[in-house]
Amino acid sequence: MTIRRGTYDATKFDASPTDVADVVIIGAGPSGATYAKYLSSWGFHVVCLEQGRWYSNTEYLGAKDEYEMSLYGKWSKDANVRQAWEDYPTELSESDMIPVMYNAVGGATIHFGGHWARMLPSDFRVRTLDGVADDWPISYDDLTPFYDETDIEWAAAGLDGDPAYPPGAAPFPQPAFPIHAVGRKVAEGMNKLGWSWWPGANSIARKPVGDLVPCVRYGTCEAGCPNGSKASADVVQWPAALKNGATLVTGARVSEILTDERGLASGVVFLDRNGTERRLRAEQVILAANGIGTPRLLLMSQSKRHPNGLANSSDMVGRNLMLHPHSMVVGVFEEEFNTWLGPVGQNVQSYEFYETDKTRGHVRGAKWTSLCIGGPMAMGTMIPRGPVGAHGEDLLRDIKRMMGHAIMMVVVSEDLPNPENRVLLDPRLKDPSGLPAPKVIYKIDQNSKDLLAFHRARQREVLEAAGAYEIHEHELLNDEPGHLLGTARMGDDPETSVVNSFGQAHDVPNLRIADGSVFVTSAGVNPTSTIVALALRGAQEMVRQASELEVPL
């Protein structure tokens, strides 16, 4: 029996143990989907194993009254709150932040805000320019054509000509969003100070494209788009991959990557929701399970030949976890701005303080973004109050005063790699299938604290210049942003990195890593655009190698 094409639940998986897929992909998020779509277009039979399920637009609550309440329960960003079968718990007693993730077809793009930002040239040369961390083995120019291509696929909407970026990028395929009154107010403040800003870029449809319809500004992007306007991998990549003949198996929790006597990847073991264990052989394995799930699975795939976990001869698997600590500054104005008007995608972005200036006392910088706030429950969180919030008259008076009058600016800080910030296997905590949960050890370092404080102070200046009569600083948004990076980093040296610049594991040439784990440094921008550009680059290289038979097939 051959492996059936199409998409179905793991309980219906009926391939025989002797069937061999050309490629098995673990994880149906944006990086796995990028590989699936590209490889299937070249005739590879791709089988993707995803522990989550499909969602339809009708399940997203953005247009419902209960939407904000659902963010504290069913649609919480925290898997430890949701506790669905497809989630796995994360041990966080030694972590300053909650690693936001989502397990579903589409992965984290189900709940991302659609902020679509490229990294900058200096991001690839951090060691050379600033003497910290490491340079990437590739440059901005190496990635530019892949950014251009994925911009089209992801319906990137923006205004060409941002002087914060080098020229040479292809035009945005979709027109920019209006910056709204909120963005205009921020821009006015920036202009008074002579600082750089530009209308923000978002992977959200402005015009009908593919299966996407134009955004109608619910402002609920971070819990699925009920209108089908936000570009998520389940919408913009998987339909094409399935049409190409890919297989997507949902409800499939991979417990181990198997290796053969040569140490090469030979397939995977996975469990369905009933606990039935299945095996799938494959010529190539692509791991796309995010910056927590990927090192977890590598560490779970120990063998005699790989005693420290798969692809871990460097001891870098799980290390250098970067989570992008975010700060927020909120200004309250006399004017009314309709601050609930979406998308949650950014209206204005700024790179004014992105680059290192050592007179500031820290290295690297941050991107700024301003975006819509949402409804009354969100507004109720805009004044920092410590571990518990307010209620009664205090709260209602604040919400009424601020509703429609508050603007928030967010700091997307660069988070430097630290080998002690890492993902391990917890010896006690297990997921619903009895597999070890990841333990996250993550401490925000002094450079990040200084950086965030500097940027909050500058954002305060912007809001003051714009006319805010009241300003509140939030030092850390510990449940934002879900950027899980660096835990299987790329590099040219197998002794200090896990994969090469194409995501190919140094130790296991037919194993590739596709997600944000491969980042050498985090940059100070939202990473999804870079994750899919890197995945496309890796997929193209894989096809090239296959044509030259450089790896066993």
Residue span binding other proteins (CB under 8 A) among the ranges 38-46, 290-298, 369-377, 414-422: 369-377
For the segment 240-269, give every residue that binds other proteins (CB under 8 A).
Answer: none
Q: Does 403 bind other proteins (CB under 8 A)?
A: yes
CB atoms within 10 A of CB 80: 16
Does 358 interact with other proteins (rule: CB under 8 A)?
no
Residue from 210, 375, 467, 494 in contact with other proteins (CB under 8 A): 375
Q: How far is the CB of 480 from other proteins (least distance, A)?
A: 18
Give the C-alpha separation, 500 to 520, whole Å: 11
Q: Which stretch binds other proteins (CB under 8 A): 97-105, 138-146, 492-500, 543-551?
A: 138-146
Under the criterion CB under 8 A, does residue 421 sit at the interface with other proteins? Answer: no
d(CA 440, CA 225): 30
Residue 308 near residue 316 (C-beta atoms within 8 A): no
- Rounded to the nearest whole angstrom, what is the least distance from the CB of residue 388 to other proteins in the complex? 5
Give long-range contacts, CB 8 A cutoff, 24+ apart: 261-269: 263/305, 263/306, 263/507, 263/508, 264/508, 264/509, 264/510, 264/511, 264/552, 265/310, 265/508, 265/510, 265/511, 267/20, 267/24, 268/24, 268/26, 268/49
Query: In the bound complex, what is the minimum distance in angstroms from residue 162's beta carbon to other proteins?
Result: 8
Among positions 96, 149, 160, 355, the unique one binding other proteins when judged by CB under 8 A: 355
- C-alpha 417/C-alpha 123 separation (Å) is 13
Q: Which residues from 181-210 bind other proteins, rule CB under 8 A?
A: 181, 183-184, 187-188, 190-191, 194-199, 206
Check: CB of residue 300 under 8 Å from CB of residue 436. Answer: yes
Instruction: Specify the residue, 22 or 222, whose C-beta has the smaller distance to other proteins.
Output: 222
Q: What three-state secondary structure class fits 531?
A: helix
Q: CB of 139: closest distance to other proteins in angstroms?
A: 4
Q: Tell me the closest approach of the beta carbon of residue 278 to other proteins, in angstroms.
A: 28
Select 76 or 290, whichever has its Cβ closest to other proteins. Answer: 76
Cβ neighbours for 407, distance < 8 A, ≥ 6 positions apart:
182, 185, 186, 330, 331, 333, 337, 339, 370, 373, 463, 466, 468
Q: Within positions 78 to 97, which residues make up the interface with other proteins, using CB under 8 A?
A: 81-84
Q: Smallest gap, in angstroms, from Cβ of residue 115 to other proteins? A: 18
Q: Which is nearer to other proteins, 38 or 197 (CB)?
A: 197
Considering only residues 295 to 354 of the shown chain, the ones binding other proteins according to CB under 8 A are 340-341, 351-352, 354
Closest CB 372 distance from other proteins, rounded Å: 11
The yes or no reply on residue 376 touching other proteins (CB under 8 A) is yes
Interacting positions 2-31 with other proteins (CB under 8 A): none
Minimum gap (Å) between residue 257 Cβ and other proteins: 31
Q: Which residue in 20, 169, 377, 551 binds other proteins (CB under 8 A)?
A: 377
Centre a 10 Å sphere on the Cβ of residue 543 and count the other Cβ atoms it contains: 15
How are beta strands 277-287 and 265-271 bridged, if at all? antiparallel
Looking at the Cβ atoms of 400 and 443, the one nearer to other proteins is: 400
Residue 468 in contact with other proteins, rule: CB under 8 A: no
Return the residue of 35, 102, 112, 165 that touches other proteins, per CB under 8 A: 165
Q: What 8-state DSSP symbol labels residue 365?
A: -
Q: Which is nearer to other proteins, 388 or 549 (CB)?
A: 388
Q: Which of 10, 105, 215, 441 binds other proteins (CB under 8 A)?
A: 215
What would the DSSP string read from start to end of 59-88?
G--TTSTTHHHHTTTTT-S-HHHH--TT--
Q: In angstroms, give the least distance from the CB of 342 to other proteins.
A: 8
E strands within 363-465? 366-371, 406-413, 422-430, 436-442
**Rg of the chain over all Cα atoms, to the nearest angstrom:** 22
Tell me how far, at minimum, the Cβ of 9 lies from other proteins, in Å: 21
In angstroms, what is the minimal distance from the CB of 187 to other proteins?
A: 6
CA distance 27 to 493: 27
Backbone angles phi, psi at 466, to 5 degrees: -80, -10
Contact status: 384 vs other proteins (CB under 8 A): no
The piece of 99-107, 124-132, 268-276, 325-333 that touches other proteins (CB under 8 A) is 124-132
- The span from the CA of 189 to the CA of 517, in Å, is 37
Strand partners, 344: none
How far apart are CB 111 and other proteins at their closest, in Å?
Answer: 16
Handedness of CA 308, 313, 314, 320 (dihedral sign): negative
Count of CB atoms situated within 10 Å of the CB of 303: 14
Taking the C-alpha atoms of residue 354 and residue 350, their distance in angstroms, rounded to an integer, is 8
Distance, CA of 542 to CA of 546 (rounded, Å): 6
**Coil/strand/helix, residue 347:** coil
Q: Are 322 and 519 in contact (CB under 8 A)?
A: yes
What are the backbone dihedrals phi and psi of residue 67, each rounded to the nearest 5 degrees, phi first?
-55, -50
Binding mask 143-162 for other proteins (x = CB under 8 A): -------------------x
Residue 355 or 470: the one with the smaller Cβ distance to other proteins is 355
Which of 392, 427, 428, 549 forms a contact with other proteins (CB under 8 A)? 392
* Closest CB 27 distance from other proteins, rounded Å: 23
Round to whole Å and give the CA distance between 168 and 130: 25
| C-beta of 13 vs 116, nearer to other proteins | 116
Binding-residue total with other proteins (CB under 8 A): 90
For the four alpha carbons of 223, 226, 231 and 235, in that order, the dihedral sign comes to: positive
Q: Does 389 bind other proteins (CB under 8 A)?
A: yes
